[in-house]
Amino acid sequence: MNTAPFPQLQVFLAVARLSSFSGAARELGVSTAAVSQAVKQLEEQLRVVLLTRTTRSVSLTDAGRRLVEGAGPAVGQALAALSEVSARPGETVGRVRLSVPRAAVPYVITPVVPTFRERHPRIDVEVVIEERFVDIVAEGYDAGVRLSEAIERDMVQVRLTDAFRFVVVGSPDYLARHGTPQRPEDLLHHECITFRMRSTGALYAWELERGRRNWRVPVRGGVVTNENQLTVSLAEQGLGLAYAFEPIVAEQLRTGRLQRVLESYAPTVPGFFLYFPSRAQRTPALRLFVDVARELAAKAV
């Protein structure tokens, strides 16, 4: 290669992150043809195929995946450094890109982002809502939010919430008509609003515990969804029992629209955590976001 293909690399990373040529074109403000040409030039210079293209999808080849994993973080840091040079003394310019599950938004994103943006108006925040497990490094995220148990052990973790429980709930009307389960096994004889995992397509087995014993109950019912809020709403209307993390149903429990069942079997999880690879701490924008998240989490305790 006679010259470093930095512009083409930026375009390729955008296509890889969005899995779309047209999406990358919209983000970069250029035509789809220009994006396609840039990727083609990069492949020709590197003499490898980076993307597998069909009429319906775009996916990484093994070489493309290795390039994303190796170059993605470095390019992000380089762009952040260029932004820093253009900033006034004492001012940080950049972007923080986060992968967040929908259930965490009201408790960790809604409180943090307004305060962060007020303090650091030249740092953009992009929040991508998704339920699947994400390789934040390979997919170009600065950080993610997940339950601690779902985070790789080599990631830095910052606590955002206290520990909380997962509870089984039902409406007073449903419980009056169908009775109240007394043991985990009783759930097999109840109408349960089931949740389909977006990452695997499997139906989620409700997890319960008591002492040292654990249960994974393969509940079933006439309604299946992949949206937690819809599950809670349907349970309020008496369509069946629901399994939810306790903070999301706090108001319904307080007003009596939902009632806990099998409470002595409710499992406790450590809570939501912000996580990121240790080397990402060198990014000034992310470091400031972590500082604000830590501060607000401490005040909420």
pLDDT along the chain (301 residues), means of 10: 70 85 86 89 86 76 83 65 58 84 84 92 89 77 84 84 93 96 96 86 92 94 91 96 93 96 94 80 80 79 48
The domain boundary, picked from 85, 119, 143, lies at 85
Residue 263 in any domain: the answer is yes
- For 63-121, the DSSP string reads HHHHHHHHHHHHHHHHHHHHHHHHSPTT---EEEEEEE-GGGIIIIITTHHHHHHHH-T
CATH of the domain at 74: 1.10.10.10
Residue 159 in any domain: the answer is no
Which residues contact residue 192 at a Cβ distance below 8 angstroms, ignoring those fewer than 6 apart? 206, 219, 220, 221, 240, 241, 242, 243
Assess whether 65 and 126 both reside in one domain.
no
Strand, coil or helix: what is 238? coil
Predicted pLDDT at 280: 46
Predicted pLDDT at 27: 83
Residue 172 in any domain: the answer is yes
Question: Structurally, how many domains does the chain consist of?
Answer: 3
Q: Are residues 281 and 203 in contact, defined by beta-carbon separation less than 8 angstroms?
A: no
Which residues contact residue 139 at a Cβ distance below 8 angstroms, ignoring those fewer than 6 apart? 16, 17, 68, 99
Predicted pLDDT at 170: 97
Assess whether 143 and 71 both reside in one domain.
no
Which residues contact residue 194 at a Cβ distance below 8 angstroms, ignoring those fewer than 6 apart? 203, 204, 219, 220, 221, 223, 224, 225
Residue 180 in any domain: the answer is yes
Predicted pLDDT at 50: 86
pTM over the 0.95 mark: no
For residue 21, the surrounding DSSP H or E stretch is helix 21-28
CA pair distance 252, 236, nearest whole angstrom: 8
Assess whether 168 and 262 both reside in one domain.
yes
Residue 287 in any domain: the answer is yes
For 141, phi and psi rounded to 5 degrees? -90, 150
Q: Note the helical H segments in 188-283.
A: 228-236, 250-255
CATH of the domain at 292: 3.40.190.10
Assess whether 148 and 171 both reside in one domain.
no
**Domain hosting residue 106, numbered range:** 94-153+275-300
Q: Return the structure tokens found at 49.
A: 């195929």
Residue 23 in any domain: the answer is yes
For residue 40, the surrounding DSSP H or E stretch is helix 32-46
Assess whether 66 and 99 both reside in one domain.
no
The domain boundary, picked from 63, 85, 107, lies at 85
Distance set, CA 33 to CA 5, 20, 23, 173 (Å)? 18, 12, 12, 58
Residue 207 in any domain: the answer is yes
Helix, strand, coil distribution of the chain in percent, nearest 5: 45, 25, 30
The domain boundary, picked from 85, 113, 132, lies at 85
Predicted pLDDT at 48: 85
Q: Return the structure tokens found at 40.
A: 């083609």
